[in-house]
Amino acid sequence: MSSKSLLEVETAPSSSRARSKDVVQYNIQGQADNDDEGGCTSVFAGLLTFASMILILLTFPLSVWMCVKMVQEYERAVIFRLGRVKKGGAVGPGLFWIIPCIDSIQVVDLRTVSFDVPPQEILSKDSVTVAVDAVVYYKISNPMASVCNVTNASQSTRLLASTTLRTILGTKTLQEILADREHTAATILEQLDAATDPWGIRVERVEVKDVRLPQQLQRAMAAEAEATREARAKIIAAEGEQNASRALKEASLILSESPTALQLRYLQTLNSIAAEKNSTIIFPLPMELMGKYMYNQNQQM
């Protein structure tokens, strides 16, 4: 067996969030559990540990301030002893003990982190250039994986979010990008979470924040929308005129059946005109009477 610590990764599928997810569990066998370790390395590590303990005892109680460390409730500390991960995994929160000469610690924040994905110039499926930016929320779920499996978990997640955003939106048309943001965000979340899972990072939420179109395309879309509204307004006005014509036709048929009703309607119209205090009142005359009068004038001439 190699003299290096054995790092085993066990993955188990989970469907709690309706997407593929692997839980990475690290079982680290420390130096004390490895019976087949090289003798030279074991003896050297033992000598360094013994010397460090002697130094701590000689400088007690001043050495206590260097041996006792503390992390907050939302933090975990990964301890490396002589370059190897200490048995037991990440420690915290609260106080814990280290050996200053041979131990080094790396503190990991477990709180949710949010960051803006820089605007990405994307060529959509229908050959339209758009600038899209998004917001990503993530948290470290496995401190050991975030320290041992990736150099910089935060920076790697940011770069991966940018490339995933470009890849996903490049397969969609402009209409799909504008009208189906929720589905697009869910797709980005699924792929981003699956990619960052070996790093001990769980992506909680992805939101497409803004989609910016070129000025020429905005003017063209505005002109198209304005023309559509004008055409709809003309259709509505024509339908109103048609309905009004039908109503007037039905009213004229009803009035033609009763001369008295026509006279009452005429008096009602005069009453409405008089209520407005107009100085001029127009009296309509039947065309038959005017025709007879014009015939008599022609006969006299």
Q: Which residues of 179-209 are buried (b: 16+ CB within 10 A; e: fewer)?
A: eebeebbebbbbbbbebbbebbbbbbebebe
The answer to whether the CB of 3 falls within 8 A of the CB of 41 is yes
Instruction: Determine the pLDDT at residue 285.
Output: 63
| Distance, C-alpha 67 to centroid of its chain | 45
Output the pLDDT for position 236. 92
**Residue 49 three-state SS:** helix
Better-scored residue on pLDDT, 34 or 293: 293
Q: What is the structure's pLDDT at 194?
A: 92
List, as one string, the DSSP characters of 118-161.
EEEEEE-TTS-EEEEEEEEEEEES-HHHHHHS-S-HHHHHHHHH
Q: Which pLDDT belongs to residue 4?
A: 36
pLDDT at 276 over 80: no
C-alpha to C-alpha distance for 144 and 88, rounded to whole angstroms:
10
Q: How far apart are CA 41 and CA 3, in angstroms?
A: 8
Predicted local confidence at residue 293, as pLDDT: 65
Q: What mean pLDDT is reported for the chain?
A: 77
Does 235 have pLDDT greater than 80? yes
Q: Which of 36-45, 238-247, 291-300 has the lowest mean pLDDT?
A: 36-45
Is 92 a residue whose pLDDT tops 50?
yes
Cα-Cα-Cα-Cα dihedral sign, residues 91, 96, 100, 106: positive
Q: What is the pLDDT of residue 62?
A: 76
Position with higher pLDDT, 49 vs 79: 79
Stretch 61-85: mean pLDDT? 85
In tens, the pLDDT along 2-31 reads: 333 333 333 333 333 333 333 334 443 333
Token pair for 275: 């209520």
Would you say residue 232 has pLDDT above 50? yes
Identity of the residue numbered 51:
A
The answer, yes or no, to whether residue 289 has pLDDT greater than 50, is: yes
Residues 6 or more apart in contact with residue 7 via CB below 8 angstroms: 26, 28, 148
- Between residues 114 and 99, the one the model is more confident about: 114
Phi first, then psi: give them for residue 271, nearest 5 degrees: -65, -40
Model pLDDT, residue 204 = 92
Q: For residues 84 and 28, what is the distance between their CA atoms, to the nearest angstrom?
A: 9
Identify the pLDDT of residue 120: 84
Q: Please write the tens of the pLDDT for every residue from 139-171.
A: 999 999 999 899 888 999 999 999 999 888 888
pLDDT value at position 265? 77
Between 239 and 87, name the one with better pLDDT.
239
pLDDT at 43: 77
Q: What is the pLDDT of residue 35?
A: 41
